[in-house]
Structure 1
Amino acid sequence: MSQRIRMSLPADRLAKYVARQLNGHFPDAVLSGDDLAPAMPRALERLEHCFSHVANKYFFDGTRAVFSHLHGDQYAMWLYILGNELHRQGADADLCAKTFLLNKALHGCDIFYEVELPDIFLLVHPLGTVLGRASYQDYFVSYQRVGVGSNHDVYPRFGKHVTLRPGASVLGDCRVGDHCQIATNALLLDQNLENGSRYIGAPKAWVVRPEETIYPLWRQ
Structure 2
Amino acid sequence: MKKGTDKRRTPLTAGVIAGSIKPQDVKKAIASGADILEIRVDTYRRRNPDDIARAMRGAGRPTILTIRSKKEGGRFHIPDDKRLELFNALAPFAKYVDIELSSSAILKNVVDLSRRLGKKLIISYHNFKKTPGGKELTGIVKKGISLRADIVKIACAAKDAGDFRRLASLLIAYDCLSVIGMGRGGKASRVLFPALGSKIAYGSITTAAAPGQMSVREIKKEFKRFYITG
Q: Output the TM-score relative to the length of structure 1.
A: 0.31
Q: Output the TM-score relative to the length of structure 2.
A: 0.30
**Rg comparison, structure with higher value:** 1
Q: Which has the higher contact order (CA 8 A, sep 6+)?
A: 2
